[in-house]
Amino acid sequence: MKTRDKIILASLDLFNERGERNVTTNHIAAHLAISPGNLYYHFRNKSDIIYEIFLEYEKLVDYYLQIPDDRPLTLDDMMFYLESVFDGLWSYRFFHRDLEFLLDSDERLREDYRGFTGRCLESIDCIFHGLAEGGVIENQPEELRSAMSLNVWLVVTNWMAFLKTAHGNGLSDELSIHMLKQGIYQVLTLELPYLMPEYREAVMTLREKYRPQLPENGEGMRSASRKKLGNF
Amino acid sequence: MKTRDKIILASLDLFNERGERNVTTNHIAAHLAISPGNLYYHFRNKSDIIYEIFLEYEKLVDYYLQIPDDRPLTLDDMMFYLESVFDGLWSYRFFHRDLEFLLDSDERLREDYRGFTGRCLESIDCIFHGLAEGGVIENQPEELRSAMSLNVWLVVTNWMAFLKTAHGNGLSDELSIHMLKQGIYQVLTLELPYLMPEYREAVMTLREKYRPQLPENGEGMRSASRKKLGNF
DNA sequence: TGGATATTAGAGTATATACTCTAGCTTTGA
DNA sequence: TCAAAGCTAGAGTATATACTCTAATATCCA
């Protein structure tokens, strides 16, 4: 593999694992057993590495969120979208973490990310529209649908952060893609009231599969807090 | 005012304005025209300052979220909760920004924040319960209500971040408490389907007041993105 | 083959950041 | 009144971080 690609991959891994803020260019170089000079031969600076990673993330999500325009959408479609998006979220999970700082320090990224958000919101909106056409959910006025889409976006993009903060010991090892996908439970919760009656039971059953499990460790969370946090 | 209190206030201001990551202890001292030594006489380190600020934030929100146990809740109560919580969010808006890093680097804060999250979720849940008793919203099974509460928490705590990332030019000056409160629109959107019929119209009217306005600048967002982002 | 080009090592630098240390000043209260 | 305690200034330090520079090596291709 080319050094340039190795740098991107290693950076992504390290960012995901330790957070962008805790990973320096020297760390990345050391991790790959290459010199800092070598790294800076391939990338002008750290922001450029992050930007490259973002482009890949963007490409992946755009790919996942393609919507067929020749047919309405089914429940299976919807679940596939959810699964895919959470997969993407997991692979690039560092990104939504220090997002604001990243955007603050790279104008190009800020602009692109804004477009990305716009496209995602539009896709979510289209998916709802397609589901309504497919008779899975009720049709809603445009205004309500786009506000709903935005809520879905907020829940999806911030579920990871919630998990990390809600779990006591900062062991990020604990956080698995499996736990991340419990976010699907939350998204389905959002959609429940809009389902057509004949789909309600099916979705409730699906939803149950993503229901958050109690972390198996007895330690860490005091019983009072556990009660308050419910399943988390 | 005591130097110690001045440090807390100045730190909060600077954190809110520039982000915790961009504010050093030396900046804080310089801003107050005191020496670094003086600052470190009052606080062992930067984390301690942040922790103090958190305690105030926690106290404020806990105060806002007190719930009367001698009567059911009204629509006015609900709006008051929303207004209050968004006020608090605004005053300590730096906090939910670099949250994960803050929690990573201060175990005490991590533990306390977890408890805080738990109490907030419990309060939201209680509010829904009280509203159901007051006949404002339909009563829902416990499981659904707590999942709903969590969605509300996610939307509330991340609305600010969304605004910052969705707005093109990083001019944080633009972001006002007024814009922040448009988050109330999103929360009301979540609640709409659960309202008792006789409250539906009233809430729709209220909601309209918080409806996001187009940013008045013609520049920055390309028309394509504007279309996609809808009202944002 | 051999010169040009691409890649790499590794020492080094400018700057920033969190924090320390000492000495001096101010306030308090017996 | 005066010593103890509290407060403050400001120079200074150890460490980290993003990034540079030069020289050497590998690769390519005419």
Tell whether the torsion through CA atoms of A171, A173, A174 and A179 is positive or negative: positive
A36 Cβ nearer than 7 Å to chain C strand = yes
> Within its chain, how far is the Cα of A90 from the centroid?
6
A41 Cβ nearer than 7 Å to chain C strand = yes
| Strand C interface, B 14-53, C-beta < 7 A | 22, 24-27, 35-37, 40, 44-47
DSSP for B163-193? HHHHSSS--GGG--HHHHTTHHHHHHHHHGG
Report the distance from CA of residue B3 to the C1' of nucleotide C18 in Å, as an integer.
20
To the nearest 5 percent, what fractions of chain B are helix, strand and coil? 70, 0, 25
Chain B residues with CB under 8 Å of A155 CB are 151, 154-155
The Cα–Cα gap between B188 and B195 comes to 10
Domain with CATH 1.10.357.10 in chain B: 46-229
pLDDT tens, B111-156?
Answer: 999 999 999 999 999 999 999 999 999 999 999 999 999 999 999 9
Judged on CB neighbours under 10 Å (0-12, 13-18, 19+), A216 is exposed
pLDDT tens, A221-230?
Answer: 434 444 445 4
Domain with CATH 1.10.10.60 in chain B: 1-43
> Which residues are registered as beta bridge partners of B137?
B195
Position A169 confidence tier, pLDDT thresholds 50, 70, 90: low
* Domain A1-43 falls under CATH 3.30.56.10: no
pLDDT > 80? residue A171: no
| Strand D interface, B 119-158, C-beta < 7 A | none
Higher pLDDT, B23 or A219: B23
A112, A103 contact by CB (below 8 A): no
Chain B residues with CB under 8 Å of A110 CB are 165, 168, 170
Q: What pLDDT score was predicted for residue B167?
A: 82
pLDDT tens, A23-62?
Answer: 999 999 999 999 999 999 999 999 999 999 999 999 999 9
> Given B21, B99, B222, which is nearest A161 (Cβ)?
B99
Here the tokens at position A221 are: 């969370």
Q: Which of A156, A148, A155, A104 is nearest to A128 (CA)?
A: A148
Q: Which CATH architecture has domain A46-229?
A: Orthogonal Bundle (1.10)
For residue B14, give Cα distances in angstroms to A184, B18, B29, B30, B99.
37, 6, 11, 12, 16
The Cα–Cα gap between B203 and B194 comes to 11
